Amino acid sequence: MQTTPSPSLASRLCLACAMCCDGTIYDVAVVREGEAERAASIGFTLTTGEDGRAAFKLPCHHLEGTACQRYQDWRPSTCGKFRCATQVQALMATSQKATRSNGSQMR
């Protein structure tokens, strides 16, 4: 099921967590093909992931507290596309709640 995340909910969740950026869960994050040079130019420390693909080391130096300081600027696409299981479940629950709420309003 494809969920359209509410930016405010997604932001709130991540601002309270940051565990996929701070090294708690992952040691590295994949840099997609064609992004390595640009990532290196803004200070990401590149390495090679277990699968041989380019990656940058975590914790990320663009993280301040639990806030990404590159949120408004370019950052590797893996950053914007990543959804952890907790985030997906929370977004689905919110979507289901909104559907129930809309249904009760239509009767």
- Give the binding site for ligand SF4 (CB under 6 A): 13-14, 17-21, 29, 60, 62-63, 68, 70, 75, 79, 82, 84, 86-87
The tokens of 70 are what?
């590159």
| Closer Cβ to ligand SF4, 18 or 54, answer by number | 18
| Closer Cβ to ligand SF4, 65 or 103, answer by number | 65
| Closer Cβ to ligand SF4, 88 or 102, answer by number | 88
Range 57-60 contact pairs with CB under 8 angstroms and sequence separation of 24 or more: 57/27, 57/28, 58/21, 58/22, 58/23, 58/26, 58/27, 58/28, 58/29, 59/21, 59/22, 59/23, 60/21, 60/22, 60/29
**In angstroms, what is the minimal distance from the CB of 103 to ligand SF4?**
28
| Closer Cβ to ligand SF4, 80 or 101, answer by number | 80
**In angstroms, what is the minimal distance from the CB of 82 to ligand SF4?**
6
